[in-house]
Amino acid sequence: MTAPLRPAFSEGQVLAAADLAATVEHARAAAARHARALHDWGIADGLGLRTESRTDPATGARFVEVSAAAGLAVDGTGREIVVPAPVVLSEAEFTEVNGADQPTAEPYPVFLIAVDRPQTGTGAVSCGSASAPTRVAESFQIRFGRLGDERLVEEQQPSPVGAPPAEPPVVWWVLLGYVRWTDGHFTAVASTARGVSVRYAGVRADTVAARSGTLSLRTRTAVQEGQPALVLSGEDPPSLVYGLYQGSGAISPLMTVAANGNLTIAGSFSGRISAGSVLVASGTATDGTLLPLPAGVAPQEVADGRVALHVYLTPRVPPSPTGLWSPIEATVDGERRVRCRIRSYDPIAAPGEVVDESGAVDYLVLATVAAAGGAQ
């Protein structure tokens, strides 16, 4: 493939139709290369499948009228596909493709493709020549697929780096979504089926720079209350904030990283224990109680030896008029279950009474992991 050719003109040159066409095609090819190299293809705006409830006058059955919203997509060849107004999906066209299928609850794919439609010119033409197209409408067509045709989307191969946008009969399938079909009518729409979802346009970049000094990432094109956002601010003081949008459009912080590295969180913190660190749990437990693990330690980490436990027990002094008591047992078994027995003696009783009973302990559980490179 040759390098891109840019038309050049000189004074007195006679311009042929091919010269003018080359001027247009150079710009189109440059735009297509930009779209392919710096963006991922897919839906850029709109084009969602929408439903309106309807009633079949003959049977009284409820169904939905499905339409594709106006919008813009960029296919994998870098060509823009513009749908200027909502389009109602044709039940007759669906029947032509899938009408012979047995009834099924499986959703059928709906595709958008680019189509060129030559427009007949109305200007002056040379003597003896027929009226020729002077415009090409860069139009579109919505097509229904058969069950499983959504795989065509994943199997499409990108164009060569220097290729212009696709021209007919080349077809690039853009998935708009799926429709369900029951008793001669559409009944529902979906955006995902059989592991293939609607694809949206993206950006390929190693650097994203904000001109205002603040860079925001959110999960929806519009600000919606309760949706998450990540904001990197270069203002004084700089910060990184993760939070949820409020109704006013402001962000309620859930996690903030300050310029000095301080981390502030609104909820609790949990995670895997890191090498060289120690986690602690303490409290009071009675005989037979299972001691808890420190927060962030999983039982499996203890079982497979990644985390070592150190348990310290101190028997609690029970209330006694005489104060004559002694611990018989204050231990913890392999399941972290406390065994505590207390023996008390009452010398006033006749004869002197010895009583063994369940006791309580104060516990301290330390969970440790050897530092990286430490002794094994």
DSSP string, 222-234: S--TT-EEEEEE-
For 280, the token pair is 């602690």
Give the residue extent of every domain in the chain.
17-119+134-202, 211-265, 278-368
For 340, the token pair is 């505590």
Q: What single-letter amino acid sits at 104?
A: T
pLDDT for the residue numbered 352:
64
Q: Are strands 49-55 and 39-40 parallel, antiparallel or unpaired?
A: unpaired
Distance, in Å, from the CA atom of 257 to the CA atom of 244, rounded to the nearest integer, reads 16
Q: DSSP letter at 18?
A: H
pLDDT for the residue numbered 295:
85
| Residue 283 region by backbone torsions, left for phi larger than 0, else alpha for psi between -120 and 50, else beta | left
pLDDT for the residue numbered 126:
55
- Quick one: which of 210, 246, 207 has its CA closest to 228? 246
Helix ranges (H only) for 294-364 are 299-303
Starting at the edge strand found earlier in the chain, the sheet holding 71-74 runs: 42-46, 71-74, 80-83
pLDDT for the residue numbered 133:
82
pLDDT tens by residue, the chain, 376 residues: 578 889 999 999 999 989 998 999 999 999 999 999 999 999 999 999 999 999 999 999 999 999 999 999 999 999 999 999 999 999 999 999 999 999 999 999 999 999 999 887 665 555 555 567 888 899 999 999 999 999 999 899 888 888 888 777 789 999 999 999 999 999 999 999 999 999 999 999 999 999 999 999 999 888 999 999 999 999 888 999 999 999 998 999 999 999 999 999 998 766 666 677 788 999 999 999 999 998 888 898 888 888 899 999 999 877 665 557 788 899 999 899 999 998 887 776 666 677 888 899 999 999 988 665 544 4
The structure tokens 């007759």 sit at 92
- Phi and psi (nearest 5°) for 180? -105, 145
